[in-house]
């Protein structure tokens, strides 16, 4: 499992853009601890703490995927990452992620985007294309 890649694909399929990982290091060099926080749209999705930066990011991405699958919000204050009206359950559940299909939807949306289209417009179109294709193939939300 590639948690970071899966998280990126999932967020793109939901039209939320790519996640942002913030990593800090603490402690002496021989006992360094890395803490990662992953956000989307300014909202905290997950946290991870480990002895390596890569592992901390992986753990944060795994927690974020759990949140997207309906788990508890990642932040201690209880605020989720999506407004209630945009939660996956409100739009029919969590869609499966097929990286190759998602990449093709993004390429297609980019190709057919208006010259003045924003990145968010292209992402939204790619997510719409992805969901429509999966629905046509009978691979809708879980």
Domain count across the chain:
1
The answer to whether position 115 is within a domain reads yes
Residue 85's pLDDT is what? Answer: 32
The C-alpha atoms of residue 14 and residue 138 are separated, in whole angstroms, by: 18
Q: By CB neighbour count within 10 A (0-12 exposed, 13-18 middle, 19+ buried), where does 120 fall?
A: exposed
Residue 105's pLDDT is what? Answer: 83
The answer to whether position 91 is within a domain reads yes
Name the one residue in this structure whose structure tokens are 């289209």.
Answer: 117
Residue 142's pLDDT is what? Answer: 59
Residue 72 DSSP one-character state: -
The answer to whether position 42 is within a domain reads yes
The answer to whether position 10 is within a domain reads yes
CATH number reported for the structural domain that contains residue 96 in this entry: 3.30.160.20
Residue 113's pLDDT is what? Answer: 83
Q: To the nearest 10°, the Cα dihedral for 92, 71, 74, 120?
A: -20
Which residue range forms the structural domain that includes residue 9?
3-136
Residue 20's pLDDT is what? Answer: 92
The answer to whether position 142 is within a domain reads no
pLDDT per residue, tens digit, the chain (142 aa), is 689 989 998 898 888 888 999 999 998 888 899 999 999 988 889 999 999 999 999 999 999 998 888 765 554 333 333 333 333 333 456 677 777 777 788 888 888 888 888 877 888 888 888 888 877 777 776 5
């Amino acid at each position: 499992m590639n948690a970071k890649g899966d998280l990126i694909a999932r967020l793109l399929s939901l039209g939320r853009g790519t996640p942002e990982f913030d990593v800090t290091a603490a402690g002496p060099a021989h006992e360094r601890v890395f803490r990662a926080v992953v956000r989307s749209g300014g909202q905290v999705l997950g946290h991870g703490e480990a002895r390596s930066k890569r592992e901390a990011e992986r753990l944060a991405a795994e927690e974020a995927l759990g949140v997207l699958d309906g788990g508890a919000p990642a932040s201690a204050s209880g605020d989720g990452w999506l407004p209630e009206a945009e939660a996956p359950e409100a739009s029919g559940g969590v869609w499966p992620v097929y990286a190759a299909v998602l990449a093709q939807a993004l390429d297609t949306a980019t190709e057919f985007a208006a010259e003045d289209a924003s990145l968010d417009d292209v992402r939204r179109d790619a997510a719409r294309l992805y969901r429509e294709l999966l629905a046509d193939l009978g691979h809708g939300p879980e």
